[in-house]
Amino acid sequence: MILSIPSPNYMSRQGRRPRWVILHGTAGFHKAEDCGYYFQQPSSQVSSHYVIGQDGTIVQCVDEAQAAWANGVLDAGADSWWYDTPNPNYDTISIEHIKPHTDNSDEITPAQKAASFRLIAQICARWGIPTRPADAQGGITGHFSIAPINRSGCPGPYPWDELFNYLNGTSSDDGDEMKTISLKDASSFFEQAPGNAWRCKKNNCVVGNAILDFYRRFGGDALCGLSYLGLPLNNEHPVTAKDGSKVIVQDFERGSLAYDPAHKLDGPPGVGAIYLTHRGVALEVQELRRQLEDAKKQNHAAEVETLKKQVDGYKQAVSAAVKTLQSIK
């Protein structure tokens, strides 16, 4: 059931149709109703079409046919298609998720997730919105896509991969779902980075977007990519395929991943856009650099040893000379 707490904070879509669903985190509030009452105050000057509570309660604040006041101005670095619309609010339907922590660090609850997935599926069906990650034609994304600086943590952790599996019917329906790991599962090693990305706590390397989605489900059991690939050793970097085109590669402790939808670098049978590839050249260069540093350190140590011996020699010579002088007196 959807509760209605209408907000006066909305405007006409100016004849435009919603093409994107934008997910948000409330960074405060404990109940969907409380957030709804806040949006109901004219003075708040903000709203969202929907708010979903941690208990799965859905509150509707603005009619889908109207534009809510959920997305502010574009930040530098916003996804390119937002520059083609006079105001992202005209073209979007916004869903807030209650997250009590002001940094939106809460994982959404199972009840909240179920309500969110169902609502998104219904909205996409009603408006013909593509059930895929947002691109210039439409789709689903977070507030970070519009405001990557000021709202990089909106909505914060969200099970994007699971959402798209759910929407596209690729999640198995026999209850034997393929395992994916969440940031919580990997929290000893990773923290949230802006957008769909995790930062390694050990070395600050960032795993993001399609490679992160792959990493989170690779292997399908244990701790997936964390178990089978280990930690990232570098960031995504381009390597050159035989035909001269660039392919993105990222190296991990136990293997390297290529993001290569056109299979320019390699084409193992049956793979999609991402596959396990041979160790990257970048990694070999990194290893050689490390060896060089070690060699330098060893050289340095040897030099210091020689200098020490020389100094000791001088000390002995000086004390011998002093003794000689004293004996002359």
> 11 vs 239, which CB is nearer to Zn ion?
11
Cα–Cα distance, 151 to 203 (Å, whole number): 25
Distance in Å, CB of 57 to Zn ion, minimum: 19
- CA torsion 22-172-118-32 (nearest 10°) is -80
Q: State the binding string over 199-218 for Zn ion (x if CB under 5 A, else -).
A: --------------------
Distance in Å, CB of 204 to Zn ion, minimum: 26
Note whether 97 binds Zn ion by CB under 5 A: no
Note whether 24 binds Zn ion by CB under 5 A: yes
Distance in Å, CB of 54 to Zn ion, minimum: 17
Determine the longest span between alpha carbons in the chain, in angstroms. 110
Distance in Å, CB of 119 to Zn ion, minimum: 16
**Neighbour-count burial of 171, counting CB atoms closer than 10 A to its CB (0-12 exposed, 13-18 middle, 19+ buried):** middle
Which H, E and C letters describe 4-66, residue by residue? ECCCCCEECCCCCCCCEEEEEECCECCCHHHHHHHHHCHHHCCCCCEEECCCCCEEECCCCCC
* Binders of Zn ion in range 243-262 (CB under 5 A): none
Distance in Å, CB of 258 to Zn ion, minimum: 33
> 81 vs 144, which CB is nearer to Zn ion?
144
Nearest by Cα to 254 from 298, 218, 203, 206: 218
Cα–Cα distance, 84 to 325 (Å, whole number): 92
> 119 vs 154, which CB is nearer to Zn ion?
154
Structure tokens given for 301: 């140590």
Cα–Cα distance, 124 to 196 (Å, whole number): 21
Note whether 49 binds Zn ion by CB under 5 A: no
Which DSSP state fits 275?
Answer: E
Distance in Å, CB of 121 to Zn ion, minimum: 21
Q: Which segment (17-25, 261-269, 282-290, 321-329) binds Zn ion by CB under 5 A?
A: 17-25
> 51 vs 258, which CB is nearer to Zn ion?
51
> 154 vs 167, which CB is nearer to Zn ion?
154
Structural contact between residues 83 and 2, judged by C-beta atoms closer than 8 angstroms: no
Distance in Å, CB of 154 to Zn ion, minimum: 3
Distance in Å, CB of 197 to Zn ion, minimum: 17
> 19 vs 143, which CB is nearer to Zn ion?
143
- In sequence order, the β-bridge partners of residue 23 are 95, 142
Which DSSP state fits 143?
Answer: G
> 163 vs 233, which CB is nearer to Zn ion?
163
Q: Count of residues binding Zn ion (CB under 5 A)?
A: 3
Amino acid code (one letter) for 89:
N
> 150 vs 204, which CB is nearer to Zn ion?
150
* Binders of Zn ion in range 124-163 (CB under 5 A): 143, 154
Binding residues (CB under 5 A) for Zn ion: these are 24, 143, 154
